[in-house]
Amino acid sequence: MLFNNKLNLIGKQIGGYTISTLIGHGRYGICFLARSNNGQTVILKKFRPQMFKKNWKKNAYEAVMLSQLNDDRIPELLGIINEKKFYGFVLEYKPGHTVKEMLFKQNYKFSNEEIFNIGTKLISIIKYLHKNHIVHRDIRTPNVLIDQENVYLVDFGLARWADPNQYPFDLDFSYLGDFLLYLFYSSYETTKKHKQSPWFDELNLAPEQKIFLKRLLRLEETYKSIDDIETDFIRLFKI
């Protein structure tokens, strides 16, 4: 029934936009692909009414942060819709596939060169956010889009202003480490007799590369800044 309710919006006009496709849903909201009257493709992010009422102060973070950022690798906030039964954001559409889609629907295997290119670009985005005192807090495979050579970071619903006590920058470091592991595991081959082992025993990585990932994941001394991470990543993973 809940899924059918989401589909009921397809074809409807909301705030001057015609909804065409459901593209994702989560705990806080639902995302649709939509078109404006002049043919512009956008993303409509509709908040669930109960969750919006409960978390309206937190939802404001996303709008404020996106309105202050100006970078092609991050979706622009184009507007806010506040109509009966529909409160949400109008976001710039970014082309491509999520890394989650590539891994689990397309069974895509990332090469070491691709991992290096994606990693350097994603680290550069995180660097930009941290310079603007923003911690994303949700750098996961569904929130990273790949479009040929372009990498985009989306969904700022959990983003917060950096605070060393509550929202330190290194929260993004552990997410980055976990994200990179997904990329490395995409080409990992198992055997029928294979017994599950820790990633640092399974993956064919150099010792220094493993230490780099362990530092991101807080298994070794944690990195202090995204600049240090960028330097080490380029040094250790460049093909």
Mean pLDDT of 116-120: 98
Give the pLDDT confidence score for residue 229 in this predicted structure: 98
112 pLDDT higher than 60: yes
51 pLDDT higher than 70: no
Give the pLDDT confidence score for residue 3 in this predicted structure: 39
Question: How would residue 87 be classed by pLDDT, with cut points 50, 70 and 90?
Answer: confident
Global pTM value? 0.91
Mean pLDDT of 2-7: 48
Question: What does the block give as tokens for 151?
Answer: 């990498």
Question: How would residue 139 be classed by pLDDT, with cut points 50, 70 and 90?
Answer: very high
Question: How would residue 7 be classed by pLDDT, with cut points 50, 70 and 90?
Answer: low
- pLDDT per residue over 58-73, tens digit each? 667 899 999 999 999 9
52 pLDDT higher than 60: no
156 pLDDT higher than 60: yes
**Choice between 7 and 117, residue whose per-residue pLDDT is larger:** 117
Mean pLDDT of 152-156: 96
Mean pLDDT of 82-95: 91
**Could you give all domains of the chain from N- to C-terminal order, each with its CATH number?**
2-92 (3.30.200.20), 97-237 (1.10.510.10)
